[in-house]
Chains A and B, each alone.
Chain A
């Protein structure tokens, strides 16, 4: 794990060890509180439910959550945002991928409380109420079948393309390799990347469907 990744968590490893070390001496509290450990202030959540506010797709959602609740479960069970899927539930398959402050993360291995104060974006919000061009490219290249891995893959692909605007096949294998698909849609995803990086022209498939979907979104708004 890189240093940059460490910073994305609300807790540093050092803080976590300190908390573990003093767990028995911390009184039971409801809601996040601050305790002094070795002269430093450390935020302690729980162990009971604590009020949590998460900003998802530009909207604030409130819930009382136990600190152990993952971001994935909070999104799906508390806020009914079901684009991110629970498949492996342990950071192996990527079906739960969301953006936190523009970084792709597995929401099944992220605690909800870690995501407070950050911008969370799921497949539903990737294009701000419109289909994101990457999501249109998934249709153009038929990069989906049953579609269960797809919301995670669209989010992962969008984040990947921002880092690698001229992605090579090797970079695709590394950068999108953390998202697994059972139906076998990877060839279409190569097409998505080729289209978005300008290597190949946009596919023609599905364009009428996209136009209709966009107009229905506009009509419904």
Chain B
């Protein structure tokens, strides 16, 4: 075993592909329509699956009659998903699953199932402020509570505090301890054990206030300016273009082949085995491509489990269950909402002194986690108090959405700070710079990025005080925001094989969400072996290959690149050992460059890659790569990014138009520059989408979603984006290693655009999306204020 510290990234002069624009290796397969997705698998004798779904947002199932559906010609299997007596928690919740010979037949069969419901009171509106005097939940934490907290990504320190204070009503060993971070496991083991308490039926779950310093005194200080405002961001959907779904078939009585559309290929068998009562090792998951996930596709979900169950009942025939578009928008993922009333104070010179906020939001029936407010400055701001109330409602199940909790916290914080800067009459760039040390370890990164963004946007030359004073209905404005994210690489393993004929294969059970994972793996392997990417074959997306972590939280790039580097270094060194004697040297004197193995500094002593590999002998070289998780020096955590937006607002129609956006982003060592830039461009566009258009519109009376289609659940189109500029901070922070990028650039756009609109029209539009109606309402409010 070599010394772990021998692994390092090659210096810039030795990089041909790493950090360069090498092109997406799967680019042509995709653009020519040949790339296969879960939706595209059409095995022989395929059956089509569909669900009977609850029409009510909350109800108890009184009876289920599947007899008519079972008798229909062409129906091959019917399975009850939620039994009589169960409670459904959102409109569209799955009740019965059916498989039939074709899609029209299965849709007919769905209509033939008779379900009686007892309707229960529901809540689908979350923008109204909850009562403030509710006592926090002090009942002992149940196993369900714990799962909710984990699902909602409640920060570890908050969880540990609650576990200590409230105690637990279950035995720690009953919890899925191997899925829980060690510090929380410790807290569970030492927590007081209490008998379970019946929860009071409430829509609201307030958390205890968190306080630092003396906020009340700080707000009363004589020399401070206080700004107050309310800010919010509604529940939005993931709207993956490839809807959620799976095709499963039993290859024999106890072996299952699955094609789940998933962000976690290696994790699918373990998540299905219990339900299907077979060993996880009997399940093989295969996925070539995935048509979008954005945090919503980690588990097999009911469509995965029930396509397998229906297949079993139908004698093993493959069953495809893909959600229709309305189902996708209704049930396959809600990003939690967040609203807050905020007071924030600074001295007249702009020095921030205090924050006070009362916030709420929903993550569906689980309540939801609290966003890290005040964002970025929480650890170092001398005085703050934050209160958070989770709204338990029936809008649909929460799923992680790219940078969970961060876009929400960022909007609330950056908009409140921007309003304060406006009140102080300060340029936000000066205001943020003045307080930059409050951001902690990334302060220098932000300062570097401010300079770049200022230059690219022309901020200092073009910024004006709040409210565009030029004549006419169209008002122009600038806004900015900043963000951070962890993004340390996940656990990952791979096998890299060099054959005696010179061919090279990498096997890794990872997945490429379109982020460029394949391209990055190829870049690292090619540079390490001195080959070009087309000389290397990458096999991925199959549980027959070594495990690789789920693609969430920007963990993939660190995981796969560090693992590939380790395997490639080991394989290359093994090859050096084989050829060194023939070249009359020692392995440490060799290098692999441009398809050759040669003695460093001696161009005469050289072997072509093919001739070098011929010395391997009959047994191929195989190197197993396995990174060290959190301790791996090839990767790191914590990035900084700055974004600026330039908008025009038509004050007569309320329409907001993006003129330009600038994203300046750090992610340590950039592995694949072009796909990294594409991630940032894509994040800006996704950000424009949620800033201006996206909202899950719910009918308070019926409890159903009113816009479950792509006409009224609007995504930004090619005409909505303006000019986009992305600057990656390359060759600046390389020594930190590789850090994830998927989440960070999508955090700031909402705040930057909201701030730009306020700068244009002179008044804050409190809630996203910034629809014409909301813009006009804000303008009207201001006019009323002026008149009074």
Binding site for B on A (CB under 8 A): 66, 68, 73, 76-77, 80, 82-90, 92-93, 95, 122-124, 126-127, 131-132, 135-136, 138-140, 142-151, 154, 172-174, 176-177, 179-190, 204-210, 212-213
B32 touches A (CB below 8 Å): yes
Query: Does B30 lie within 8 Å of A89, measured CB to CB?
Result: no
B635 touches A (CB below 8 Å): no
Q: Given contacts A138-B31, A142-B674, A177-B719, is CB(A82)–CB(B36) below 8 Å?
A: yes
Interface residues of B in 18-63 (CB under 8 A from A): 21-37, 39-40, 42
Chain A min CB distance to B669 (Å): 19
Residues of B within 8 A of A140 (CB): 23
> Mind listing 24 A-B residue pairs with CB under 8 Å?
A76-B42, A77-B103, A92-B710, A92-B711, A138-B27, A142-B675, A144-B24, A145-B513, A145-B514, A145-B515, A146-B242, A146-B290, A147-B291, A148-B291, A150-B33, A173-B719, A174-B719, A181-B685, A183-B292, A184-B716, A187-B685, A187-B721, A206-B22, A206-B23
Query: Does B718 lie within 8 Å of A190, measured CB to CB?
Result: yes
Query: Does A150 lie within 8 Å of B31, measured CB to CB?
Result: yes
Query: Does B24 lie within 8 Å of A122, measured CB to CB?
Result: no
CA distance A71 to B242 in the complex (A): 19
**Per a CB cutoff under 8 Å, which of B34, B104, B240 touches A182?**
B240
Query: Does B241 lie within 8 Å of A87, measured CB to CB?
Result: yes
**Per a CB cutoff under 8 Å, which of A66, A92, A148 touches B37?**
A148
Query: Does A139 lie within 8 Å of B534, measured CB to CB?
Result: no
B533 touches A (CB below 8 Å): yes
Query: Which of B227-235, B373-381, B676-684 is found at the contact surface with chain A?
Result: B676-684
CA distance A89 to B107 in the complex (A): 15
Query: Does A185 lie within 8 Å of B24, measured CB to CB?
Result: no
Residues of A within 8 A of B27 (CB): 138-139, 142, 144, 206, 209-210
Q: A86-B39, A187-B724 are in contact. List 14 more A-B contacts (CB 8 A).
A: A85-B37, A88-B710, A90-B710, A95-B241, A123-B33, A138-B31, A145-B513, A148-B242, A148-B291, A151-B30, A154-B31, A183-B292, A184-B681, A185-B682
Residues of B within 8 A of A149 (CB): 241
Query: Does A131 lie within 8 Å of B31, measured CB to CB?
Result: yes
Query: Does B686 lie within 8 Å of A182, measured CB to CB?
Result: yes
Query: Does B24 lie within 8 Å of A124, measured CB to CB?
Result: no
B82 touches A (CB below 8 Å): no
Query: Does A144 lie within 8 Å of B682, measured CB to CB?
Result: no
Q: Given contacts A92-B710, A154-B31, is CB(A205)–CB(B682) below 8 Å?
A: no
Q: Given contacts A146-B289, A147-B35, A184-B685, is CB(A205)–CB(B674) below 8 Å?
A: yes
Residues of B within 8 A of A172 (CB): 718-719
Residues of B within 8 A of A124 (CB): 32-34
Task: Look across to chain B and name the residue whose beta carbon is closest to the beta carbon of A146.
Answer: B514
Query: Does A146 lie within 8 Å of B685, measured CB to CB?
Result: no
Q: How many residues of B contact A (CB 8 A)?
A: 64
**Per a CB cutoff under 8 Å, which of B23, B241, B325 touches A205?**
B23
Residues of A within 8 A of B516 (CB): 145
CA distance A186 to B721 in the complex (A): 8
**Per a CB cutoff under 8 Å, which of A85, A93, A154, A177 touches B710?**
A93
Task: Look across to chain B and name the residue whose beta carbon is closest to the beta carbon of A77.
Answer: B42
Residues of A within 8 A of B180 (CB): none
Query: Does B31 lie within 8 Å of A151, measured CB to CB?
Result: yes
Task: Look across to chain B and name the residue whose beta carbon is closest to the beta carbon of A89.
Answer: B325
Q: Given contacts A82-B36, A124-B34, A206-B24, is CB(A183)–CB(B717) below 8 Å?
A: no
Residues of B within 8 A of A186 (CB): 685, 716-718, 721
Query: Does B24 lie within 8 Å of A85, measured CB to CB?
Result: no
B715-736 Cβ-contact flags toward A at 8 Å (1 or 0): 1111101001000000000000
Chain A min CB distance to B510 (Å): 15
**Per a CB cutoff under 8 Å, which of A87, A92, A150 touches B30?**
A150
Query: Does B23 lie within 8 Å of A209, measured CB to CB?
Result: yes
Task: Look across to chain B and name the residue whose beta carbon is closest to the beta carbon of A80.
Answer: B42
Residues of B within 8 A of A184 (CB): 681-686, 689, 716
Residues of B within 8 A of A92 (CB): 709-711
B415 touches A (CB below 8 Å): no
**Per a CB cutoff under 8 Å, which of A80, A85, A127, A145 touches B32?**
A127
B156 touches A (CB below 8 Å): no
Q: Given contacts A88-B325, A89-B325, is CB(A122)–CB(B28) below 8 Å?
A: no
B510-538 Cβ-contact flags toward A at 8 Å (1 or 0): 00011110000000000000001110000
B777 touches A (CB below 8 Å): no
Chain A min CB distance to B178 (Å): 31
CA distance A67 to B513 in the complex (A): 37
Query: Does A177 lie within 8 Å of B289, measured CB to CB?
Result: no
Chain A min CB distance to B29 (Å): 8
Residues of A within 8 A of B25 (CB): 209
Chain B min CB distance to A1 (Å): 17
B324 touches A (CB below 8 Å): yes
CA distance A89 to B681 in the complex (A): 27
CA distance A84 to B33 in the complex (A): 7
**Per a CB cutoff under 8 Å, which of A85, A95, A145 touches B682?**
A145
Q: Given contacts A87-B325, A93-B241, A206-B23, is CB(A189)–CB(B28) below 8 Å?
A: no
Task: Look across to chain B and name the residue whose beta carbon is closest to the beta carbon of A125.
Answer: B33
Residues of B within 8 A of A183 (CB): 292, 514, 682, 686
Residues of A within 8 A of B719 (CB): 172-174, 177
Q: Given contacts A182-B715, A183-B292, is CB(A131)–CB(B32) below 8 Å?
A: yes
B239 touches A (CB below 8 Å): yes
Query: Does A83 lie within 8 Å of B33, measured CB to CB?
Result: yes
